[in-house]
A = this chain, B = another copy of it.
């Protein structure tokens, strides 16, 4: 429940324990798999019988253009499902790759579908998760279409911090940060060179510190100001717009 797509994840865990109790009929098969860093988890336009749930490690979902340009759509953290689209469309359009070593639990598509369709409440949770994902995708579009480089990078860092915090993976504003600069670039629609410049500036200004794949937010207020420069109150995700002022006070 604390996880980002926790509702649906919880749903799937329920499925599993349920089938443990009553294991004679349509057991929901699942197995754990380990994928080394930089390896593919699922390929676009590939018919797959499975859907996977990230158990540990970081992964990324991206779309690549034939000429080499690519856009990372989201980073996947433990508890995230790698592409709900697999559940319905026979093929998914995005490429999922492991950033660090990843372990994930694999479910048979058809079995998950069968269980979901027998439980309207779970289908409802699925729909909610999909709507939440859509909202994230919309925010990404705003970032890419209408924000400057430093805003995009600051927001990426803050969004990751928040998602990791919900998983209990942040201590003293410090968290693991395995991203390469070209991955930050592909997530923010920039180039690796420009990301390097921006991160350098943030670090020289003592806003953040990156060392040995760990990131520390030294000046959360300033980082928030950069992330949400256009509003007075700074960056407070998941706050109704009308309330941000109250939160500052």
Which of A83-91, A162-170, A200-208, A218-226 binds B?
A: A83-91
- Neighbouring B residues of A229 by C-beta, 8 Å: 67
Instruction: Judge if A6 is at the interface, Cβ distance under 8 Å.
Output: no
Q: Which chain B residue lies CB-closest to A139?
A: B63
Judging by beta carbons under 8 Å apart, are B65 and A146 in contact? yes
Closest Cβ of chain B to A73, distance in Å, is 5
Q: Which chain B residue lies CB-closest to A44?
A: B241
A229 CA / B133 CA spacing, docked (Å): 29
A84 CA / B132 CA spacing, docked (Å): 11
Judging by beta carbons under 8 Å apart, are A45 and B141 in contact? no
State which size class the interface on A falls in.
35 or more
Q: Which chain B residue lies CB-closest to A233?
A: B66
Instruction: Judge if A39 is at the interface, Cβ distance under 8 Å.
Output: no
A85-B131 CB under 8 A given contacts A45-B242, A91-B240, A230-B65:
yes
Which of A102-110, A116-124, A171-179 binds B?
A: A116-124
The A interface is mostly helix, strand or loop, or mixed, namely helix
Judging by beta carbons under 8 Å apart, are A146 and B71 in contact? yes
A11 CA / B144 CA spacing, docked (Å): 34
Judging by beta carbons under 8 Å apart, are B141 and A70 in contact? no
A73-B138, A117-B124, A144-B145 given; 18 more Cβ-contact pairs under 8 Å = A44-B241, A63-B142, A71-B146, A84-B131, A84-B134, A85-B131, A85-B134, A88-B127, A88-B128, A89-B128, A94-B138, A117-B121, A120-B120, A126-B127, A130-B130, A133-B134, A134-B134, A144-B189
